[in-house]
Amino acid sequence: MKKNAIIFLLLCWANTQLMADDGYRLWLKYDLLSNVTQRTQYKNQVNAIAIGSNSLVLQTAAKELQLGLQGLLGKSIAVNMGKGGKGVLLLSVNPTDEAVQNLAADGFAIVQRNQQWMVVSKTDNGVLYGCFTLLRQVKLGTAFKQQRYSESPKIRLRMLNHWDNPLGTIERGYAGSSLWKWYELPEVIDPRYIDYARANASVGINAVVLNNVNASARFLTKEYLVKVKALAEVFRPYGIKVFLSLNFASPKILDKIPTSDPLDSRVVEWWKNKTAEIYSIIPDFGGYLVKANSEGEPGPQDYGRTHADGANMLASALAPHNGLVIWRAFVYAADPKGDRFKEAYKDFKPLDGKFASNALVQVKNGPIDFQSREPFHPLFGKMPQTPLAMEFQLTQEYLGFSTNWVYEAPLFKECLESDTYAKGKGSTVAKVIDGSLDNHAWSAMAGVANTGSDRNWTGHTMAQANWYAFGRLAWNYDLTSEQIAEEWIQQSLTQHPQTVGIIKELMLKSREIYVDFTTPLGLHHVMGQNIHFGAEPWLEKSARPDWTAIYYHRADSLGLGFDRTSKGSNALSLYAPEVQQLWGDAQKCPLPYLLWFHHVPWTQKLSTGNTLWDEFSSRYYKGVASVAWMQQQWEQTKPHLDQAIFTDVKGRLAVQHREALNWRDACVLYFQQYAKQPIPKPYEKPTRTLDELKKIVEIYQLK
Amino acid sequence: MKKNAIIFLLLCWANTQLMADDGYRLWLKYDLLSNVTQRTQYKNQVNAIAIGSNSLVLQTAAKELQLGLQGLLGKSIAVNMGKGGKGVLLLSVNPTDEAVQNLAADGFAIVQRNQQWMVVSKTDNGVLYGCFTLLRQVKLGTAFKQQRYSESPKIRLRMLNHWDNPLGTIERGYAGSSLWKWYELPEVIDPRYIDYARANASVGINAVVLNNVNASARFLTKEYLVKVKALAEVFRPYGIKVFLSLNFASPKILDKIPTSDPLDSRVVEWWKNKTAEIYSIIPDFGGYLVKANSEGEPGPQDYGRTHADGANMLASALAPHNGLVIWRAFVYAADPKGDRFKEAYKDFKPLDGKFASNALVQVKNGPIDFQSREPFHPLFGKMPQTPLAMEFQLTQEYLGFSTNWVYEAPLFKECLESDTYAKGKGSTVAKVIDGSLDNHAWSAMAGVANTGSDRNWTGHTMAQANWYAFGRLAWNYDLTSEQIAEEWIQQSLTQHPQTVGIIKELMLKSREIYVDFTTPLGLHHVMGQNIHFGAEPWLEKSARPDWTAIYYHRADSLGLGFDRTSKGSNALSLYAPEVQQLWGDAQKCPLPYLLWFHHVPWTQKLSTGNTLWDEFSSRYYKGVASVAWMQQQWEQTKPHLDQAIFTDVKGRLAVQHREALNWRDACVLYFQQYAKQPIPKPYEKPTRTLDELKKIVEIYQLK
């Protein structure tokens, strides 16, 4: 080899190494392991991969494992058919293997037998998940430690819900435009579709709803179904099923049927035929997600029918094809004297037991709408005869878009670990959702996706962790937020121990910090109108009373907060008595939920020793100070991170600090008008006036 | 060097080479020249770069030249201060250098003196353009051939207009979301902003309007001006000035001034102060672009004032800062009995001579709205006392979005080369625009950008050529479409001679093919409502009569086309007599413009020997066949193109073929109802019914 050539290669190499990390690879970074001892050890374990069958998903599993191991270990690894032998990693689908007997269908075991390692599962998907797990273990240095390692998913349907519109916009999306290029499909397959599927499969996500729940009927036309089919074909090798959101008035919209009444035989027939058509095009189609009679969408109530009537009509059309209907419980009539908190319960609780066996009801984690903190939804535990699916929101509609750093695992887990007491102590929301409490065959957890066309998928690099965490928790909600953060950081950012520690601490504290500078002590729904950005606690008028801020915070000269006890709206009564006891007494109610359930006098002493006003206003100041602390901490990561990612996150933290100051000053000045008390020491009065802050928020309401 | 290390490096290198081309680098691909002889020759010419001053733009020029030459030549090239000497390429700003005496400010010369090459210009920008030109010449193998090579731009302001909205959507954008991340600015600077500026500067674009002409007032708030400033700071080193579109009602919207009357002193004062504020933040701010009293936007006519009143009020606020106001002439009152063709002329022609010296009037290339072919706008040549800016549309609103391949240089040149006869033969539109016909100090050409957040910037890879061609033509409209295509292909795709030839032919024919299968013989405005996609010639009702299709095509049992002669709307009379003669006689009117000006009997014999109906319907069939031909030709490029690009374009051509069939069948079946004649042989009647085709278009009108 000539010297020149070597120098040229060196230049190439340097170029590869110096290339800034644009975040595109997410947590799937199969770069050479830097720990040489470990790399050598792993290299000796695996010389080749063997697969026993040639199914699509198994081929994917082998290919991903090959790609990953080659990158991590820096050696070439062949994939062969057959069983292999010593040093050959076997991927085996074998429902009768004793190692997988006690596992769910998608569970897997990584076992060593006769000096051969194998990934075994009852299903192809299980092997795929086993392979991704093995890659993660190799990256983290925990592979091949036990002769038998196994995992089993707790939730059967682990799905993303995309609120993506046909023209490429995303409702509540903050990371560019939709990943799906509907005009280009089916002929053009963006390579990104494959990378999207890989990322999902790597964390166990096995279903996606492609389109917005405020659904265009066009997705049910033949023209669009062939586009959907093209995506389904990309996702199928990754074990991912495709669902569609539907518009309940489709028979009317698409074929001029005079009604969409779910009990009308023409409508029944229409859906039966349409569903059969879909399955003739996409044989493994997952089913429908439905937003009906909610925020202006059509639904069965337009014809005096119930949500169950609507769901069951669709369930019946889907049943012959083993499809599912997932019916959303996000409904709320506009009642200025009512309490939106109770609306979904009122509509759905009486329908328990009336849904078909292939229908699930999808419930948002809380009763209002993805606030930074909500009590768990009162329907959890109250519909034992109905499988309830969880709906979490990954996209940061109420969490500062893509300019705020909020690690959501603690938020998700807070809900999942809440005790409904439905069947006594320990009846957690998680056990309602996973079907174990009431013995349901189906279980589902949905995350409203935070993905978009931005190069790094999620806008804020740190928001990648929310996609990751959602998948991991849907697989196993017993993982701690800390475990997931640690895994994610090591795969995505760095393995430098101190830096991992710094970032992990930032992640774990980020949500509470966000709560502090926006809606402390259980304040909720005081964000900017429509856009849901910034503070607008002064919002008094909107198209609906329950879209204002004053409907929720109820500030007056006496105090602050929404009385949901029996003296107020009595929403608390929707919960089990134990829960009522937990939250029902203003003196004992945990502070994070205080203003959710009580109208508390400004002067009331809280458990912290401060009055409500002092504690409440101090939280805003502490929240802002915490963002400054985040900025300082982040500076320390600089020597150990890719500089493109470091700089990007640093910039976003600076934006977050500016926005936190706006939130603080707006809320403190606005509520001070009612509390009529000074800013508690040692904090200084905002230098800006309330009018100045109102102007800042008004900008976002302009065309 | 160990053998292992070498193999490792080899792997890295292979990896770099095999990486699919995602189109991100556009035409700025500085890979090692494959022609070794040429590379060696160039290597010997340049050992270092010298700059005489340290201005921002000169630094950029040196950095770009260094980066480019290092990549192309595979050698390290230093940049030093000073004048250098033999083998040192000197970048020199010297207004008194004899080589640049006859050049415009931004012109440059590349000259050899005393065995030293230098790029010299009167301005920093000129040197920058000279450097990019030199890089292009090195890539194309035409560098250092003459001892003196010089260029001079024909148009002073070469600008992109972004119709980008504050929330990240783009009006008529088909390549993802906006490049500008308003929520993240000013703290987060997306590295992509820099690459955008590089691409623009490389083709001489020196101004950008950041926001949609349907403008949000928010861009004039202090909060947004600091964001605009951040972008201006990224663009400044590339010689690019920032403009803003403004909302004429801003004084009312932002500061509750009770009026926006341009003659009201409070309004005058408001704009004076606002403009001063902008310049205090962005000292080299370019000025305002205004859409007023057009399609619902506010404007001076709301107060009984003229467009000139509005423009001059702003011009007066801008004058102390050397800013410009660019006032759009795209206005048209809704008159069911009128002819939209004449509306802008009616409003603007009487205002000639009434605009301030720092005001330009921006006119779309044609009188209607960016159709695939339009006669030149009748205002060109009719406002000699007013500098008219050209507005072309790069984004393919009426050209099949990003699924159709239309190389627009022939379309742009067709307009620029049209003769207005304003001052006798040879008074081309180009000479009106460049100011030479009427001796204007200012000249401008604007392109409505086709860029977006898609990785390859423009959705269709081939649409990158339209961005490129716009810049090149704004610099020098005498370049042929073929020259520009050839340059672009060689820089962007391949230098393989036969493949360059194939792609060039496809590019040059693409626009005429698109015309054939959508709107042959001068048919216009028969596209799908609102969305402007697909065919909808049957559109009879819309919010405005001039938003329907029948308003334009006027099909009846006798014939087809809009009679704009003296027997009809007499729009022809707006043109010079020579032009009236050219287009006025239905027997002699060139076929591409026939239906623009005449209602032609179905049975009339055309110059082709066919009747109107036969020629008209045959064009659709030929157009579809031509798309099939494009597909076949494209297949031949496969061995010589990056496979990612090959596959992507192949897919898009397949979509285009499907859409072409839809256009053909829809139009042939619809107009056949009036012509009442058979499809001419050898073509076959469409297998689909008109109702089926209507359904396909209806899909795109659904929510």
pLDDT tens figures, A162-189: 999 999 999 999 999 999 999 999 999 9
Which pLDDT score is estimated for A2? Answer: 45
How far apart, in whole angstroms, are the C-alpha atoms of residue A309 and residue A289? 15
Residue of A nearest to B31 (CA): A12
List, for residues A196-235, the tens digit of each pLDDT value. 999 999 999 999 999 999 999 999 999 999 999 999 999 9
How far apart, in whole angstroms, are the C-alpha atoms of residue A134 and residue B476? 59
pLDDT over threshold 80, residue A525: yes
Give contacts of B8 with chain A, Cβ < 8 Å: 13, 74
Give percent of chain B with pLDDT exceeding 70.
97
Question: Burial level of A16, CB count in 10 A (0-12/13-18/19+)?
Answer: middle
Interface list for A 310-349 with B (CB within 8 A):
none
How far apart, in whole angstroms, are the C-alpha atoms of residue B437 and residue B425? 12
Q: CATH 3.30.379.10: does it fit domain A22-151?
A: yes
Give contacts of B218 with chain A, Cβ < 8 Å: 699-700, 702
Residue of A nearest to B533 (CA): A183
> Residue range A607-625: average pLDDT?
98
List, for residues A372-383, the tens digit of each pLDDT value. 999 999 999 999
pLDDT over threshold 60, residue B145: yes
Phi and psi at residue B170, in whole multiples of 5°? Answer: -125, 125
Q: What is the DSSP letter of B111?
A: E
Q: Hey, what amino acid is at B552?
A: Y
Structure tokens at A163: 């609120």
Which pLDDT score is estimated for A19? Answer: 59
When pLDDT is cut at 50, 70 and 90, the band that residue A336 belongs to is confident
How distant, in Å, are the alpha carbons of A362, A421, B261, B321 from that of B264? 58, 69, 5, 22
Integer distance in angstroms from the first to the last C-alpha of chain A?
64
> Residue range A610-630: average pLDDT?
98
Q: Are B391 and B162 in contact (CB under 8 A)?
A: no
Handedness of CA B336, B339, B340, B344 (dihedral sign): negative
Phi and psi at residue B158, in whole multiples of 5°? Answer: -110, 100
List, for residues A551-609, the tens digit of each pLDDT value. 999 999 999 999 999 999 999 999 999 999 999 999 999 999 999 999 999 999 999 99
SS3 B65: helix
pLDDT over threshold 70, residue A5: no
Which of the listed CATH numbers 3.20.20.100, 2.160.10.10, 3.90.1330.10, 3.20.20.80 matches domain B515-562+599-701?
A: 3.90.1330.10
How far apart, in whole angstroms, are the C-alpha atoms of residue B159 and residue B444? 7
Residues making up chain B, counted from first to last? 703
Confirm or reject contact between A8 and chain B (CB < 8 A).
Answer: yes
Q: Tell me whether residues B651 and A187 touch, CB distance under 8 A.
A: yes
List, for residues A119-164, the tens digit of each pLDDT value. 999 999 999 999 999 999 999 999 999 999 999 999 999 999 999 9
Give ∠ CA B568-B573-B577 in degrees, rounded to 5.
135
List, for residues B255-306, the tens digit of each pLDDT value. 999 999 999 999 999 999 999 999 999 999 999 999 999 999 999 999 999 9
How distant, in Å, are the alpha carbons of A32, A62, A79 from that of A40? 11, 21, 20
Give contacts of A658 with chain B, Cβ < 8 Å: 187
Confirm or reject contact between A194 and chain B (CB < 8 A).
Answer: no
How far apart, in whole angstroms, are the C-alpha atoms of residue B683 and residue B685? 7
How far apart, in whole angstroms, are the C-alpha atoms of residue A518 and residue A535? 7
Comparing CB atoms, the residue among B13, B169, B702 nearest residue A169 is B169
Which pLDDT score is estimated for B333? Answer: 85
Phi and psi at residue B21, in whole multiples of 5°? Answer: -85, 115
Q: Is B295 a catalytic residue?
A: yes
**For chain A, what are the domain ranges?**
22-151, 157-492, 515-562+599-701
CA atoms within 13 A on the CB side of A222: 10
Q: Is B369 a catalytic residue?
A: yes
How distant, in Å, are the alpha carbons of A162, A366, B618 from that of A530? 19, 19, 52
DSSP B551-573: HHH---SSEES---STTTT-GGG
Which pLDDT score is estimated for A9? Answer: 42
> Residue range B609-615: average pLDDT?
98
Comparing CB atoms, the residue among A177, A189, A191 nearest residue B177 is A177
How far apart, in whole angstroms, are the C-alpha atoms of residue B623 and residue A189? 25
3-state secondary structure B482-493: HHHHHHHHHHHC
Confirm or reject contact between A1 and chain B (CB < 8 A).
Answer: yes
> Residue range B37-45: average pLDDT?
95
How distant, in Å, are the alpha carbons of B413, B467, B476 from that of B470? 10, 5, 10
- Residue where the block lists tokens 């959101």: A245
How far apart, in whole angstroms, are the C-alpha atoms of residue B613 and residue B504? 32
Handedness of CA B609, B614, B615, B621 (dihedral sign): negative
Q: Are A388 and A363 in contact (CB under 8 A)?
A: yes
- Residue where the block lists tokens 């009055």: A611
> Residue range A60-73: average pLDDT?
98
Minimum mean pLDDT among A49-53, A288-292, A320-324: which range? Answer: A49-53
pLDDT over threshold 90, residue A20: no
Q: What is the DSSP letter of B120?
A: E
Give percent of chain A with pLDDT exceeding 90.
96
Average pLDDT of every residue of chain A: 96
Give contacts of B702 with chain A, Cβ < 8 Å: 166, 216-218, 253
Strands B559-560 and B444-448: unpaired
pLDDT over threshold 50, residue B5: no
Q: Are A599 and A589 in contact (CB under 8 A)?
A: no
Average pLDDT of every residue of chain B: 96
Q: Tell me whether residues B183 and A402 touch, CB distance under 8 A.
A: yes
Confirm or reject contact between B7 and chain A (CB < 8 A).
Answer: no
Give percent of chain A with pLDDT exceeding 70.
97
pLDDT over threshold 90, residue B60: yes
In CATH terms, the superfamily for domain B157-492 is Glycosidases (3.20.20.80)
**Nearest CA among B262, B261, B249, B319 for reference residue B287:** B319
- The partner residues of B112 in beta bridges, in order of sequence, read B117
SS3 B50: strand
Q: How many CB atoms are closer than 10 A to CB B693?
A: 25
Give contacts of A651 with chain B, Cβ < 8 Å: 184, 187-189
pLDDT over threshold 50, residue B567: yes
When pLDDT is cut at 50, 70 and 90, the band that residue B1 belongs to is very low
How far apart, in whole angstroms, are the C-alpha atoms of residue B94 and residue B99? 10
Question: Burial level of B11, CB count in 10 A (0-12/13-18/19+)?
Answer: middle
Q: What is the DSSP letter of B168?
A: S
Strands A559-560 and A600-601: antiparallel
When pLDDT is cut at 50, 70 and 90, the band that residue A52 belongs to is confident
Confirm or reject contact between B223 and chain A (CB < 8 A).
Answer: yes
- The partner residues of B151 in beta bridges, in order of sequence, read B108
According to DSSP H, which parts of B179-332 are helical? 191-202, 222-235, 250-255, 265-281, 307-318
Q: Is A391 a catalytic residue?
A: no
Give ∠ CA A445-A288-A198 in degrees, rounded to 5.
55
Element (H, E) at B66: helix B56-73
List, for residues A253-288, the tens digit of each pLDDT value. 999 999 999 999 999 999 999 999 999 999 999 999
CA of A134, closest CA in chain B: separation in Å? 24
How far apart, in whole angstroms, are the C-alpha atoms of residue B195 and residue B175? 16
How far apart, in whole angstroms, are the C-alpha atoms of residue A223 and residue A186? 9
